[in-house]
A and B are shown apart, each in its own frame.
Chain A
Amino acid sequence: MAHQAHAYHMVDPSPWPLTGAVAALLMTSGLATWFHQHSTTLMTLGTILLLLTMYQWWRDIVREGTFQGHHTPPVQKGLRYGMILFITSEVFFFLGFFWAFYHASLAPTPELGGCWPPTGITTLDPFEVPLLNTAVLLASGVTVTWAHHSIMEGQRKEAIQSLTLTILLGFYFTFLQGMEYYEAPFTIADGVYGATFFVATGFHGLHVIIGSSFLAVCLLRQINHHFTSQHHFGFEAAAWYWHFVDVVWLFLYVSIYWWGS
């Protein structure tokens, strides 16, 4: 039987990168087809393929790490670097939308009345639901840290409870934001105010949903005894991502909701 003389993980051949690429192609061309030929078939196909790819690829990583022991310390280090670099790229993604917001709001054009908020825009009161949302996310940051400590201390039940609470808080945020979106007196089409507001908060909301999903997967894995008190990087990655989502919200709240009102 052949053994490797190093601690790294030479991954087995996998079809998921290819299916992921095909999904990306189908989704993008599907988007164009939807716009021009009014058919959503291609795009829907692409989305299904993407979901299948994500499920199977990440399932394989869990198998390789948790069940087959491939995630040695150097491999885990590489995964940590990877997650950090990914989150950094997301920071830059949001930076662009903040740039757009500040470009528009620090120097409002005559079309807006030369003022910010623009003439005719009724902003949301930052001390109502947005403040509650801030409290919800900050609280979820506390509960996810509680979950981490529970895992590290081998407290299985507390880990499950605190992780569940974190996810519920995430859902609560999403629900509240959904209500705000529905009730808002302005839309994405309402000039640069509406555009910057909904694109920035919208992408943030998407990241909350992604983060909640990531945490939900961790909850399932914790219930199924995948994590040990020493080795639970999947959870740590989810927690980092969750904190990132929280920090983005804080910037959104202070910049758009509070200063921008």
Chain B
Amino acid sequence: MFRAAVRLSFSGVRSLTRTQPGCQALLASRCYSHGKQETEEEFDARWVTYFNKSDIDAWELRKGMNTLIGYDLVPEPKIVEAALRACRRLNDLASAIRILEAVKDKAGPHKDIYPYLLQELKPTLEELGIPTPEELGIDKV
């Protein structure tokens, strides 16, 4: 859903103002001319599995995050949750907070996405004891 919201592409006119989290948008975000298209659910599941690897190492965590942030979408809360749990397993609080900064940046001009993400992640943030950049006052330059 979030990928449709941020995509300004040649693949057609898309709504830029989706704010309803319940939307089931099965819009493919990759415009390949051939090959099997991955659904959004498959994409999300793949990334959740990636971060859920119990023995994920620090390099893999950072690589995964960099690859994910390179995509033209805001990751679903369940992916971010899996990444935050991976940070917990790796004792990397710095990266956990950085992930929150990164997903806020990915939302770009769509100011409603980040608060929604934090709302969905609130139980996880509390469980893992991860402060948000806003709580730390580091969101202002």
- The residues of A with any CB-CB pair to B shorter than 8 Å are 103, 106-110, 113-116
- The stretch of B17-25, B39-47, B58-66, B73-81 that contacts the partner chain: B58-66
Q: Which chain B residues numbered 59 to 100 have a C-beta less than 8 Å away from chain A?
A: 59-63, 65-66, 92, 94-95, 98
**Residue from the list B59, B60, B65 in contact with A114, Cβ < 8 A:** B65
Q: Which residues of B contact A115 (CB under 8 A)?
A: 66
- Are the CB atoms of A114 and B102 closer together than 8 Å? yes
Q: Which residue of the partner chain A has the closest CB to B101?
A: A114
- Are the CB atoms of A110 and B92 closer together than 8 Å? yes
Q: Which residues of A contact B94 (CB under 8 A)?
A: 110
Known: A103-B59, A107-B59. A114 touches B66 (CB 8 A): yes
Question: What are the nearest 5 A-B pairs in CB distance?
Answer: A107-B62, A110-B94, A107-B63, A107-B59, A114-B98
- Are the CB atoms of A110 and B66 closer together than 8 Å? no
Question: How many pairs of residues, A versus B, come closer than 8 Å at their CB atoms?
Answer: 26
In this complex, the member of A109, A113, A116 whose beta carbon has the largest number of chain B beta carbons within 10 angstroms is A109
Q: Which residues of B contact A114 (CB under 8 A)?
A: 62, 65-66, 95, 98, 102
- Per DSSP, chain A at the interface is loop
- Could you show 11 A-B contacts with beta carbons less than 8 Å apart? A106-B66, A107-B58, A107-B60, A107-B61, A107-B62, A107-B63, A109-B62, A110-B92, A110-B95, A110-B98, A114-B102
- Per DSSP, chain B at the interface is helix
CA of A108 to CA of B65 in the docked complex: distance in angstroms?
Answer: 10
Closest CB of chain B to A112's CB: distance in Å?
10
Q: Which residues of A contact B62 (CB under 8 A)?
A: 107-109, 114
CA of A116 to CA of B63 in the docked complex: distance in angstroms?
Answer: 11
Q: Which residues of B contact A107 (CB under 8 A)?
A: 58-63, 66
Q: Which residues of B contact A103 (CB under 8 A)?
A: 59
Closest CB of chain B to A178's CB: distance in Å?
33
Q: Which residue of the partner chain B has the closest CB to A111?
A: B94
CA of A108 to CA of B94 in the docked complex: distance in angstroms?
Answer: 13
Q: Which residue of the partner chain B has the closest CB to A106?
A: B63
Closest CB of chain B to A160's CB: distance in Å?
51
Q: Which residues of A contact B102 (CB under 8 A)?
A: 114
CA of A110 to CA of B98 in the docked complex: distance in angstroms?
Answer: 8
CA of A107 to CA of B69 in the docked complex: distance in angstroms?
Answer: 12
- Are the CB atoms of A108 and B66 closer together than 8 Å? yes
Closest CB of chain A to B101's CB: distance in Å?
9
Q: Which residue of the partner chain B has the closest CB to A110?
A: B94
